[in-house]
Structure 1
Amino acid sequence: MSLPPRQTAPPAPEGPGALHALQAELATLLEQRSPDLLARAQDYLALTELLGDRAGEAGAHLLLAQALVAAEPHAALVAAGRAARAFAALDMPVQHAEALTLSGRLHLNQGAFEAAEGDLRAALLLVQPLDTPDAQTLSATALNALAGAQFNRGEAREALLSLETALRVWTRLGHLPGQASCLTNIGSLQTTFGEFHAAIETLGRAYRLYQSGLQDAHAEGCILNSLASAHAANQDHALAVEVATSALTAARESGDTLLLTTTHLNLGTFSLQAGQFTAAAEQLGQALQLSREAGYRTTELSTLDSLGLLHQRTGRPRDALGAHISALELALELRDTQGELEARLHLGRVQKTLGEVSAAREQVGEALGLALDCQNRSAEAEAQQLLAELAQQEGDYRQAYEHLQAHLSVKDELFNVERDRQTRNLSVRFEVERARHDADVYRVRTELAQEGLHAAEAQVQQRTAELARAQHEVVTRLAMAAEYRDDTTGEHTRRVGRAAARIARALGWTAERARLLGVAARLHDVGKIGIPDAILLKRGQLSAQEFDQMKTHTLIGARILSGGRSELLQLAEEIALTHHERWDGSGYPIGLSGTQIPLTGRIVALADVFDALTQARPYKAAWTREEALQEVRRSAGTHFDPLIVETALQVLGSDHDPDGEDDADGTDGSDADVLSVFEQLLLARTQDLGSARQAAEAAASEPARMAVQDTLTGLPNRRAFVEALEGLLTPVLSGPGPVSARAAVTVLTLHCDFTPPGQDRPPEDAMPDEALRAFASRLQEAFLPLGRTYRLDGPVLAVLAPYLTEAQANDLVCRALQGTAAPGACIPRVSSGLACSPADASTPEELMRVSERRMDHQRLSRQLEHHTEP
């Protein structure tokens, strides 16, 4: 990619004075995002070349890259690479990191996520040891961009942690634009997780920051675009249109063509979703015109696709046909597989509407092949449904049946994937909240010693209460996720919690403790998440073997909830384990009897059975309340505690709650607000599929995880190392431009020798396994977040990182050794070998060989020194 031609004649060399004046002018133009920046940056580059100012020339390349970001991203990437190499040669780490950060952001925009992560981690390696404001600013900027690369690589937890770290740095620096940018990205991430209320709250915080002092129309446009997307994802299309309209005003003021084009596209799409077809046509027309004028081909493709959908919904199939054909041609030209897939699907649907069945079948068949190739299950399901409709239209009912069965199978799988994604996302948020809680408690404890006992303890209590609320939300959603598998209404856990709380109040419990029981009771069947659907949803009586497996849901639930420090989780664990025990000792899983069964388990057992009797299930019809109460009365002294039966008959026999505890399970209005989006998502998928049909995959995923994890150290193993190395080297060796211009990949191999000096082998009490585990842990800590540590085999470890010099590697290894040097610890002697691609090797195998050869050479030299000592 060549740089664009100079737009003005180069200035005559007037000496350093002219250079400084031009530097000041360029700083102003960059801050104002002036259209004159490109021409003046080219002038600046020419002047530095004529004066032989190497540092100025490197800075000129960086300014040129910044000027080209929007108009010529490929040319910007070339200029940023030149700047990075020039600053590296001049040993200017902060400027070097700035160029690498810009290169990483450009790679991120182009979808080269591995290359982006390599550049950004290299930038962090340069600036994180420095304690200057400029270095910390670059560190936060790189972390913000790194989160984008991590999220696109499926590392959601790491992305959130990177953003949280960046936000803390920006807050410490008092940098409002950085805080707003981080909050905007966190909000966008929450939108993708389906946490729409949290996303709207986070983006609201970002916008309040903007209002408090940021006079930056570009930042305002980005925040409002993200906020509009969150409202649209939350199905609030009218509000999305309103917010996107405000974003459009900000985008126009910013002068950023790309932001303006994207905002027109978003506003047109949201207007289409809201049924505002005239406004949608106007906005999409503007987006198409701007895309073509500025050469934003990807945005043009998205706009054409949206225009086609608009024409379909407004009864203009011929216009829709033309738009989708243009989108398909552009996708083929750009080699955009996803764009081609969507264009063919939409084109096939329009052709079906026009009665062009043969042409439609051809397009949808091509789309199905693309969906299978790129493993896009959602598109595969849509293609199978379209093919079924087309076959039915032609009277080929056998073919239609086969495609429909395939469609249902894929939709079934998609539901399970979505459910697992929701569970993982909840786990991510829970872990992030816990990490934030631990960090805050540590900070507050430190302040406790300095600022006084009472104020700091109040902060600890407030932060702990926030964690409890987050924990409450996660465990309640987890209960619902389990319950939706065999109760399509999702109300069983809520009713059991309410009934258990009312019985507890009637037994004399305090209102607060009864309320806590009501929340914990909602988790009684969380272990069902581990029971196969073939058993859980079976119509008819279970076999003895199936019933034995069903019984294990009590143990699974208790295991899921075990280890909790809060009273809520401890109650929930107790209930999950014992709510199927019987008063006469014939229950499961332990066979407890009488008062051996915890009171909580006895209460929830009755509440659970009563609700199950009064609700329809796949294997039975619903009983009336009177029939259920008679069964409870008959079971006193056998299944249930007689005292609880006597109390429950009075409580459950009436709808009236004299103490007003109908919401004692914690599901009052605020809780309903928190859960509403999650419930809507699950309910929509439940209604679409009819019922869930997937067993939990925890047991199945364990062998896959163990295949890439070392059991002794917990580190990734050699297989994971080889896969990661190949993944990093592929873009380095196959990307555009010369190999030398791309980010380096470094392999550091280490051999750990636990033999004390003067001995031939480790002493028996040195415990090399424990020592290796301790050193591996310290090594992993030393190299984070710059690279990842692996155990290859035996005492051989490896580190995979970008831009790592031998001096930097030795310093970090020494840091790890110092961290291991506890009294009585067995400290290894470490031999290491470092190799860098593309300088030392061009393939993963060669790079590993060079690194291991250098490690073996150092190890041999140390052995010779040991044996030749007097």
Structure 2
Amino acid sequence: MGNAWVERTGERALIRRTQPLPPFGHAPENLTFETQCQAFENAVQALITAAPQQALSVASDYLRFTEGQGLAQARSHLLLGQVQIEIRELLAALQSLERAAADFSADEDALGAAQAHNLAGEICSNLGSLDDAETHLNAAIAQVKGSDDPAGQQLHATALNHLAGVYHARGQVDDALKASQAALALWISLGDVQAQARVLSNIGNIQTWQGQYDTAVSTLRRAYHLHQTAIENPRSEAFILSSLGRLHHLNDENALAIEVTQAALAAANRCDDELMKARITLNLGTFYLDGDQFSEAAAHLEQALEISQANNYRLEEASVLDSLGSLRTKQGDLPEAQALHQAALEIALETGDEQGQLDAHLHLGQVQHALSENAAAEANLGRSLELAQQQHAPKELAQAHLALADLFETRGEWTQTALHLRALRSTERDLFSQQRERQVRKFMVQFEVERARHETDVYRLRTEVEQDARQAAEQLVTERTSELARAQHEVVTRLAMAAEYRDDTTGEHTRRVGRSAARLAQALGWPEERAQVLGIAARLHDVGKIGIPDTILLKPGKLSQEEYSQMQTHTLIGARILSGGQSELLRLAEEIALTHHERWDGQGYPQGLSSDGIPLTGRIVAVADVFDALTQARPYKRAWSAEEALREVQAQAGKHFDPQVVEVALQVLTEESSARHDPDLSSEARFMPGEDASHMLAVFEQLLVERSRELDVARREAEQVARQMERMALTDSLTQLPNRRAFEADLEAKCAGQPQDGTSMFVMSLDLGGLKLINDAQGHAAGDRLLTAFARCTAEAFAPLGGVYRLGGDEFAVIGAAPFHTPALLERLTGALDAVRAAGFEAASASCGVAWLPHDAQTSGDLLRVSDRRMYRQKASRQLSTVN
């Protein structure tokens, strides 16, 4: 699999400038040194994308011109490095940027040094020099950490994201996640939605790598939502889709993974990013390989290898070679497979890519064993075992143990064979436990998913009631609610059973605790009906154990301190599962699940409550639970007699237990114990009053009724959220004006219904001038203030005629109605610009173009094209003309 870390945040902005100059030709000799430097920089900026080789020549002249000139020399080195990046001369670019960083640091220019270190770190990462990349990126962060300058904060966030990529390549996943989250916080504070989407995508990849598939899906959906609502960038689309494709692949949905990754590759081809193309093509080839589609796999892997080698992408080249080796193994060409895995290993060792080393050692050892080169195979498989243990990679660990067991069996070394088979069994048990825990989490979510579906169905059906046939639709609602009740009843019942049977194979423990708790409550003066509800609720006291791994829950020996701390969390898990209910049953169950391990002396958990601070329900169930546990055999202890257990309960009065509850329990539990051993009493005592199956069903149905009462509230909240999300989807986050999507919808609607009062509908396209200059000279925060001021002033100016929209960047538009060819439009725009200048933006200007319906066009699309053409024509002349 290719390295999933492909997204970068922040642009490789060219060096800062204050005043734009005409493109550089031959500067007059009477210009100042600073002006000539600015002319060089402007010339390179004008040429870098259109004619990069010519830009390289000018940048080299600039470097010679500034030799020995301190800060100017630093700027020329930085500019030369950026041009060399553009033409893919990465080693030369790295040398230029390292010189720039040293010169900037000597002149105490922190921002310049950070920019140079950041670009150098990115180059080192792409070349596979991870240690050097980390050094440069940490140097960049040190220069701008804590900066109040938006430009410095942007560099800080960008360097953090690149550093996260380095950590991820090394397998330092926790460090990668911390760096990404820090970068995300900075981009949120800066309001950069595009960068937020990119970092969220990276975080989703880390969560996928950790096996947190549900969390990863949520994170990637959040990233894709930002992309859909606020970003028109094929590169972001490619990355998010690629991440989703990889997630589907890891979730064993290979056909869907291929389909999504093909869409990602199409987006990558539109954005002309060679590194992204290489990685997505590699992933696609790997997915085809896993599906045994050899011809498609070969085509894509060879294409990925060609791109990687042409651009010196060493990490990607190693991954492709390793995947090609696996392809040749499946095709039966073992010598070729060995050569490819060896080449992949050499690159991984050279670059320090530990994940690549693990894959290459493992696959190379497997092939060598198949070729009977057992000594070499043992060395490579042994090294893969060490790396898998270091990187906590259970899948690769299991494969290494299996391969080594097979190798030692071939040589007749039975002790070593048995050792690796035992280790394999332990590893597979851990993998099974992880898989089971994921399934349990999905099962716990099922209840909420079913309820959400029900809300949707009820809302749709109620709408049908109002519109069509009320009686028939209400019947459908009733039927659907009944179906939901049965489904939810099954989910809740199975959840309780799952908790019971994980460490209580008969399920009798929870029944006995419930019965004892109910009788204790009655002896304490509770009404019989309420005591029965307590007895049912007490059966769920350990429902939180469903979230505790089997390796801890079923451990026969004493738990370690860390394991015991994790076991204690079952109280919090149980309370969370049962939280939010409106019925007394569910409220009591939540209270019991949370507090039945609290102690009278305050030494219990999870909250350390004491004496009357512990709810009475928790104090009652604590006694019933401990008494029953003492009298039952467990892997780690014998069953105590009832007399021994009662003496222990009495001894713990005032320490573990409420003395008043203990006093009652000595009588009640003695009778309970006698009933267990008396055949005549045990049949009657099997169920407490009202505890038969039909009553249980009724209680759960009552619980479902209580939950259903919440549906109306939930539906109203959902409708409110939906309206809010719709407003957000149609609103520009910076200016709060309607956005492009709202503009297109309103334009279409208004073109369909023209004014009938003698006025004509018009569209005015606006282009705000000077935004780029302000961004470059004063920073993006100042540019945002200009955009906000222009939006406010134009909205106020055009309010009597129509609405103003922000289409993106510095482009705005107005839809309104006015007498044909009225000069008032130009007057209103001029007034708006005067107000913007008065707000502190003296150089503010705008180009405009107006189109009228039906005089200039008949459709919304043609109307917009005419207004845009007139606006761009005016923009070219850089002056306001009479409104058309």
Residue aligning to 1:302: 319
Aligned partner letter, 1:65: G
**Deviation digits for residues 456-506 of structure 1, max 9, x if unmatched?**
xxxxxxxxxxxxxxxxxxxxxxxx9xx999949999899999999x999x9
Given that residues 525 and 557 in structure 1 are in contact (C-alpha distance below 8 angstroms), is that contact kept between their aligned partners in structure 2? Answer: no
**Deviation digits for residues 768-818 of structure 1, max 9, x if unmatched?**
xxxxxxxxxxxxxxxxxxxxxxxxxxxxxxxxxxxxxxxxxxxxxxxxxxx
For 1:81-100, list aligned pairs within 5 A: 81-100=98-117
The alpha-carbon deviation at position 287 of structure 1 amounts to 0.9
Residue aligning to 1:637: 672
Residue aligning to 1:59: 75
1:142 equivalent to 2:159? Answer yes
Rounded Cα–Cα distance in structure 2 between residues aligned with 1:172 and 1:58: 30
Aligned partner letter, 1:305: D
Rounded Cα–Cα distance in structure 1 between residues aligned with 2:535 and 2:59: 74
Given that residues 558 and 573 in structure 1 are in contact (C-alpha distance below 8 angstroms), is that contact kept between their aligned partners in structure 2? Answer: no
Taking structure 1 as reference, are residues 606 and 197 closer, same or farther at Cα in structure 2, changes over 3 Å only? farther
Given that residues 493 and 522 in structure 1 are in contact (C-alpha distance below 8 angstroms), is that contact kept between their aligned partners in structure 2? Answer: no
**Deviation digits for residues 649-697 of structure 1, max 9, x if unmatched?**
75465696124359989999xxxxxxxxxxxxxxxxxxxxxxxxxxxxx
1:658 equivalent to 2:698? Answer yes
Rounded Cα–Cα distance in structure 2 between residues aligned with 1:29 and 1:399: 66
Rounded Cα–Cα distance in structure 2 between residues aligned with 1:409 and 1:254: 47
Q: Which is bigger in relative contact order (C-alpha 8 A, separation at least 6)? A: 1
Q: Secondary structure at the match of 2:224?
A: helix
Aligned partner letter, 2:673: T
Aligned partner letter, 2:76: A
Aligned partner letter, 1:265: L
For 1:710-789, list aligned pairs within 5 A: none
Rounded Cα–Cα distance in structure 2 between residues aligned with 1:117 and 1:59: 23
Residue aligning to 2:59: 44
**Deviation digits for residues 566-591 of structure 1, max 9, x if unmatched?**
99687444224589xxxxxxxxx99x
**Deviation digits for residues 228-265 of structure 1, max 9, x if unmatched?**
22222222222221221111112212222111111110
Rounded Cα–Cα distance in structure 2 between residues aligned with 1:407 and 1:306: 25
Rounded Cα–Cα distance in structure 2 between residues aligned with 1:596 and 1:139: 53
User: Which of 223, 226, 231 is residue 243 of structure 2 equivalent to?
Assistant: 226
Matched-pair identity in %: 27
Aligned partner letter, 1:365: A
Residue aligning to 1:365: 379
The alpha-carbon deviation at position 143 of structure 1 amounts to 3.6
User: Which of 117, 122, 132 is residue 149 of structure 2 equivalent to?
Assistant: 132
Residue aligning to 1:79: 96
**Deviation digits for residues 110-167 of structure 1, max 9, x if unmatched?**
6666765554454445435443332332233234344445667887666545544433
Residue aligning to 1:345: 362
Residue aligning to 2:556: 537
Given that residues 497 and 522 in structure 1 are in contact (C-alpha distance below 8 angstroms), is that contact kept between their aligned partners in structure 2? Answer: no
Rg bigger for which structure? 2
Residue aligning to 1:692: none
Residue aligning to 2:619: 598
User: Which of 389, 392, 396 is residue 406 of structure 2 equivalent to?
Assistant: 389
Q: Secondary structure at the match of 1:343?
A: helix
Given that residues 544 and 570 in structure 2 are in contact (C-alpha distance below 8 angstroms), is that contact kept between their aligned partners in structure 1? Answer: no
Taking structure 1 as reference, are residues 80 and 187 closer, same or farther at Cα in structure 2, changes over 3 Å only? same
Given that residues 55 and 83 in structure 2 are in contact (C-alpha distance below 8 angstroms), is that contact kept between their aligned partners in structure 1? Answer: no
Rounded Cα–Cα distance in structure 2 between residues aligned with 1:230 and 1:171: 25
For 1:422-821, list aligned pairs within 5 A: 487=502, 521-523=542-544, 536-537=555-556, 557=567, 571-576=592-597, 598-601=619-622, 637-638=672-673, 650-651=690-691, 653=693, 657-660=697-700
The alpha-carbon deviation at position 268 of structure 1 amounts to 1.0
Q: How many residues align?
A: 555
1:282 equivalent to 2:299? Answer yes
The alpha-carbon deviation at position 601 of structure 1 amounts to 3.8
Residue aligning to 2:760: none
Rounded Cα–Cα distance in structure 2 between residues aligned with 1:150 and 1:365: 27
The alpha-carbon deviation at position 44 of structure 1 amounts to 1.7
Taking structure 1 as reference, are residues 619 and 392 closer, same or farther at Cα in structure 2, changes over 3 Å only? farther
Taking structure 1 as reference, are residues 563 and 147 closer, same or farther at Cα in structure 2, changes over 3 Å only? same
Structure 1, unaligned stretches of length 5 or more?
Answer: 1-9, 423-479, 539-545, 580-588, 621-632, 669-870
Rounded Cα–Cα distance in structure 2 between residues aligned with 1:110 and 1:666: 61
Given that residues 126 and 314 in structure 2 are in contact (C-alpha distance below 8 angstroms), is that contact kept between their aligned partners in structure 1? Answer: no
The alpha-carbon deviation at position 90 of structure 1 amounts to 3.1
1:241 equivalent to 2:241? Answer no
Rounded Cα–Cα distance in structure 1 between residues aligned with 2:353 and 2:670: 66
Taking structure 1 as reference, are residues 75 and 29 closer, same or farther at Cα in structure 2, changes over 3 Å only? same
Aligned partner letter, 2:204: G
Residue aligning to 1:23: 41
For 1:89-128, list aligned pairs within 5 A: 89-109=106-126, 119-128=136-145
Rounded Cα–Cα distance in structure 1 between residues aligned with 2:533 and 2:124: 54
Rounded Cα–Cα distance in structure 1 between residues aligned with 2:506 and 2:96: 59
Rounded Cα–Cα distance in structure 2 between residues aligned with 1:577 and 1:553: 19
**Deviation digits for residues 605-639 of structure 1, max 9, x if unmatched?**
799999x99xx99999xxxxxxxxxxxx9986239
Given that residues 284 and 307 in structure 1 are in contact (C-alpha distance below 8 angstroms), is that contact kept between their aligned partners in structure 2? Answer: yes
Given that residues 494 and 667 in structure 1 are in contact (C-alpha distance below 8 angstroms), is that contact kept between their aligned partners in structure 2? Answer: no
Residue aligning to 2:723: none
Q: Secondary structure at the match of 1:386?
A: helix
Residue aligning to 1:269: 286
Given that residues 405 and 421 in structure 2 are in contact (C-alpha distance below 8 angstroms), is that contact kept between their aligned partners in structure 1? Answer: yes
Rounded Cα–Cα distance in structure 1 between residues aligned with 2:113 and 2:201: 27
Aligned partner letter, 2:157: A
- Over the residues paired in the alignment, what is the CA RMSD in angstroms? 6.0
Taking structure 1 as reference, are residues 314 and 660 closer, same or farther at Cα in structure 2, changes over 3 Å only? farther
For 1:407-422, list aligned pairs within 5 A: 407-408=424-425
Residue aligning to 1:254: 271
**Deviation digits for residues 515-569 of structure 1, max 9, x if unmatched?**
9978763236989999797xx337xxxxxxx7xx899999985588699999968
The alpha-carbon deviation at position 392 of structure 1 amounts to 3.1
Aligned partner letter, 2:556: L
Rounded Cα–Cα distance in structure 2 between residues aligned with 1:639 and 1:526: 35
User: Which of 209, 212, 216 is residue 199 of structure 1 equivalent to?
Assistant: 216
**Deviation digits for residues 309-364 of structure 1, max 9, x if unmatched?**
233335555654554355456557768676455334324433555xx32x145323
Given that residues 136 and 169 in structure 1 are in contact (C-alpha distance below 8 angstroms), is that contact kept between their aligned partners in structure 2? Answer: yes
Rounded Cα–Cα distance in structure 2 between residues aligned with 1:491 and 1:19: 85
Rounded Cα–Cα distance in structure 2 between residues aligned with 1:12 and 1:352: 68
Aligned partner letter, 1:23: E
Residue aligning to 1:828: none
Aligned partner letter, 2:64: E
Taking structure 1 as reference, are residues 565 and 78 closer, same or farther at Cα in structure 2, changes over 3 Å only? farther
Residue aligning to 2:771: none
Q: Secondary structure at the match of 2:544?
A: coil
Q: Secondary structure at the match of 1:98?
A: helix
Residue aligning to 1:809: none
Rounded Cα–Cα distance in structure 2 between residues aligned with 1:151 and 1:287: 21
Residue aligning to 1:702: none
Q: Choose 201-210 or 388-397, whichever is displaced more.
A: 388-397
Q: Secondary structure at the match of 1:181?
A: helix
Q: Choose 370-379 or 257-266, whichever is displaced more.
A: 370-379
Q: Secondary structure at the match of 1:205?
A: helix
Q: Choose 553-562 or 259-268, whichever is displaced more.
A: 553-562
**Deviation digits for residues 173-199 of structure 1, max 9, x if unmatched?**
331221112211221222123221221
Aligned partner letter, 1:100: H
